[in-house]
Structure 1
Amino acid sequence: MKLAVFDFDSTLMDGETIDFLAKPLGLEEKVASITEKAMAGELDFFESLIERVSLLKGLPYSKAVEICKDLPLMPGAYELVAELKKRDYKVVCFSGGFRIGTSPAKEKLCLDADFSNVLHEREGILTGLVGGDMMFGYSKGDMIQRLQNILGITRENTLVCGDGANDLSMFAHADTRIAFCARDVLKKEANIIIDEKDLTKILEKI
């Protein structure tokens, strides 16, 4: 058995979930600017997440769910996951984003698990608060070690793929490290770099 862990936003999914959520509030550009700085490693991930989610306060939860159920998957996502499963990989998604986005994608792609955060809502309205497993810069590294221990999978049999600074912590625990259309801060730690928006390119490299 082997383990493949993928980031969600701008990796398995073509875009940033929180940018899609900010659009109906007219805050897409403001949120996207903060996201970009966080992914480049210029901002603390936790602080940037708290700041961005606070801007979603007042959005109807039903609207957020509707937006997230049909987020655009990255070209090649279906083919990649299916082939990795044929090669005996457990395929998992880690996201600093939100479960209302990762769970529909998990079902569509037949992933083995998704780990992400939860947007707090009260009386059907987002409060601007968030909680979950993936809120810190170190969260992905912490979770991948837990999965490796539970499944008995070594770093030699672990593949990770992401695009931003909050993926660095999981890169420390895998021998196959893929930077996919990534920021320079992550490319420096990768041993496979793909700059084309086509996830099937990964299959040519592993």
Structure 2
Amino acid sequence: MKIKKLAANTGFTIVELMIALMVLSTILLMGTVILIQIGALYTKGVNGASLQNATRNALVDVSSSLQFSGDDLSMAPDLHVAGTLINAFCIGSTRYSYVLNRELGTTDTTGTPAPHVLWRDTLPNVGTCTALDISNDSVNMATQGYEMIPEHIRLTKLAITQSPTDSDVYQIDVNMAYGDSDLFTDASSTTCKGGPGTQFCGTSQLSNSVNRRIK
């Protein structure tokens, strides 16, 4: 009688197992990096959309007031409150009080809070354009006012010019930025730094030229 010899099944060696684990780890790492990048792009898109909407809404609001109200534009004297410069202008009974380059809901380098950035309300006394103190939370709510900018957004420019002078044509420029101060290259908050954290930084510049249709 012949006895059949069975072949030995050696299986994986330690080296082969380590190589397989390294390949698997690399695949998992690459997948994680891809997911992080997708999340960063999504966050940047959401923040960018919010920034664009805020800029557009402010531009449309001011443009409509100038174009259709028939009221004159009046510039208010600057208001200084505890180191905060508050600018304002009025279109008839509608007043816009604002602070430049201050992120809504945070503090500046001196620790001064910025509870409001661009505040729209109704003048209590039509004909007298004065800036409203928006440097603290206790804003006069009796004037039917509201904040026009979402949190973490700052207003970097709000300018209205007549071109030519004494005409009915107005040029309106609205610039805004999203993100903390350390994400920008300079104090004007007009250019974002490169590298990590770019999804939390963005700028938006919109302008419009309107011709007053009602006088």
- Give TM class, smaller chain: under 0.3
Q: Which has a greater percent of helix?
A: 1
> Given the two structures, how large is their TM-score scaled by the length of structure 2?
0.26
Q: Per chain length, whose mean CA-contact separation is higher, i.e. which structure has more relative contact order (CA < 8 Å, sep 6+)?
A: 1
TM-score (norm 1): 0.27
